[in-house]
Chain A
Amino acid sequence: MRILSWAYLTLAYAFVFLPVFVLVVFSFQDGRLPVPPFKGFTLDWYAKVIGDEALMAALVNSLLVAVISSAVALVLGFLAAHALARVRLPGSALLRGVLIAPMTVSYLIIALGLLTVFNQLGLRPSLWATGIGHIVINLPLCFAISYAAMGDHQKSAERGARDLGAAEWQVLALVSAPMLAAPLAAAFFLSVTFSWDEFIIAFLLTRFDVTLPVEIWSMLKSGLSPATNAVGSLVFLVSVTLVILLELTVFRRAK
């Protein structure tokens, strides 16, 4: 039973890591195709990728959209969660349902809906349109995480602050938000990763200024290339660094 467990664990990890491993190894391929045999080690593809202006522009676009849309989603979600946790509003179950609803809908449908409306209004596809879509998908996440984190302990401290003369914005800024720093940071970074990685909304709602996933998608059209491996490995490196930093700072402290 014990041996079986460890064998299963090993196989599972092998399965999970296989594609990543292949991706990273062949990003160093000294040849035109990222498939066996491995012909030698080179950093040329990384140099090429970093020198690629369209790719770097897409990377900056992705970062901008991710950070700004996540910040907006977090603020909206946090305020809504605070309202529902603090005041007994009529139909609060329905309100929660409405705010969570986009989570259960395919991104493709959200994208198509927005595209329909923007077309009818005569708005051109743009990074702004993409950002709006990313707020729609991340708002439920930020709301749910904030709402789940607001316990009695939190409410009691807020009540204490009000009793001592704090106006509502002061309660939010000086008590609620700092007390929820860890879950709010988690919600923000999760949103950033989702937005950073999102393809279909960005694909349908951008035209000239594209995001990184869309740019990578267009690279794929020209077939397999170690350059794509290099981009993928770089994105992986950045994400993993972020996750590890988060793990070491925010979540360790929250424990």
Chain B
Amino acid sequence: MTAGVSIQAVSQRYGPATALDTVSLEIAAGEFVVLLGPSGCGKTTLLNIIGGFAEPTEGHVLIGGRDMAGVAPKDRPTTTVFQDYALFPHMSLCDNVAFGLRMRGTPRAARTAKAMAMLSLVGLDGRGDRRPHELSGGQRQRVALARALAVEPEVLLLDEPLGALDLKLRRQMQEELKTIQRRVGTTFVHVTHDQEEAMAIADRIVVMNAGRVEDFAPPREVYLHPKTLFTAGFMGEVNHIPVASGQAAFGPMPVPDGTLCIRPEAISAAGALRIGPCRVTDLAFFGTHVRAHVVPLAAPDLQLVVHLPQSAATAVGAVLDLGAESYVVLQA
């Protein structure tokens, strides 16, 4: 019902272009892993390689300990929820969901019962007779999920399944995906370029860039303690402060040399790592917080972004004494 995925030194080259560069990952059974990165980073290529729709130039993929080299998609213990859902327009929802079982020779009665159960799992009970074109985008997405899960794969692959949905529906589906994954216990490998989505659903996030894995850790870890500058920047806004020989532009900094990365919300009056007095140059109210641009008095060329509490009563021109509550120092 569930299996781990072991990706061992996988590379994918198309002529001179490298889509994946010696990628290795160990995904545990039952884990919800998100492959996150900008378009062209290789995340979809990696998903296709796991699903058997592409073959790596080098390296191996093991699912449940079994080498997948030369195994066609239909023979792999994986199924995929495609970006465009790939529902069969000429079949009812029930026939769509039952398709995989039909291919496995399950008798009609059994597979219909299973299809009904899957449709009810995704909140579409009683709609088995409908056709895909009668459904909304969110509903089609659910049918695609039910169809992929109906054959009880060991690993479910999701290729930007929420990309076509509007923001509100996307947030709702994220929660449902997470719930369903907990319920069925199948390993989920989910591709997205939306870091908020990744943090909302993942047990662990794989951050990818230019064909390489930048980071592989739980959301909190990836966000708060990114291993690379790319991850730090991709997961959210960050202030970069170069530090050399214990000196930053505005004074001494008791941190190792490198780039000091501080998130806007980690800067406050109470922060332990002192930045010193800064002048507010710009303010905007964002609802959950007040976003401010500040310039340290000691370093007029350095601009920092700070998220002040919603209640902060300040004005452009005011001077605040600020420090960082959390930070990380990274090497370029």
Contact = CB atoms under 8 A, between A and B. Distances in A.
Interface stretch (B83-91, B172-180, B230-238, B319-327): B83-91
B79 interface: yes
Interface stretch (A87-95, A97-105, A151-159): A151-159
A157 B86 contact: yes
Interface residues of B, number: 23
A87 to B, nearest CB: 13
A167 B78 CA distance: 15
Interface residues of A, number: 18
Interface in B89-103: 89-90, 99-100, 103
Contact of B103 (A153, A156, A165): A165
B326 to A, nearest CB: 43
A124 interface: no
Interface string B227-248: 0000000000000000000000
Contact of B73 (A153, A162, A174, A175): A162
A109 B264 CA distance: 79
Contact of A165 (B53, B74, B90): B74
Given A153-B84, A156-B82, A159-B53, A164 B99 contact: yes
B89 A157 contact: yes
B104 interface: yes
B86 A156 contact: yes
Interface string A129-161: 000000000000000000000000100110111
B88 A175 contact: yes
A157 B88 contact: yes
Contacts of B90: 178-179, 181
A170 interface: yes
A246 interface: no
Contact of B80 (A163, A167, A178): A163
B84 A164 contact: no
Contact of B86 (A160, A167, A174, A178): A160
Contact of A162 (B72, B87, B104): B72
Interface in B56-83: 72-75, 78-80, 82
B319 to A, nearest CB: 58
B190 interface: no
Contacts of A167: 74, 103
A171 to B, nearest CB: 9
A127 B79 CA distance: 50
A160 B87 CA distance: 8
B37 interface: no
A166 interface: yes
A228 to B, nearest CB: 45
B151 A164 contact: yes
A159 B147 CA distance: 14
14 contacts: A156-B84, A157-B86, A157-B87, A157-B89, A161-B99, A163-B51, A163-B78, A164-B147, A164-B148, A165-B75, A165-B100, A165-B103, A165-B104, A167-B103
Q: Which 3 A-B pairs have the closest CB atoms?
A: A160-B86, A164-B100, A165-B103
Given A160-B82, A161-B99, 14 more contacts: A156-B86, A157-B89, A159-B53, A159-B82, A160-B87, A163-B73, A163-B78, A163-B79, A164-B100, A164-B151, A165-B104, A167-B103, A179-B90, A181-B90
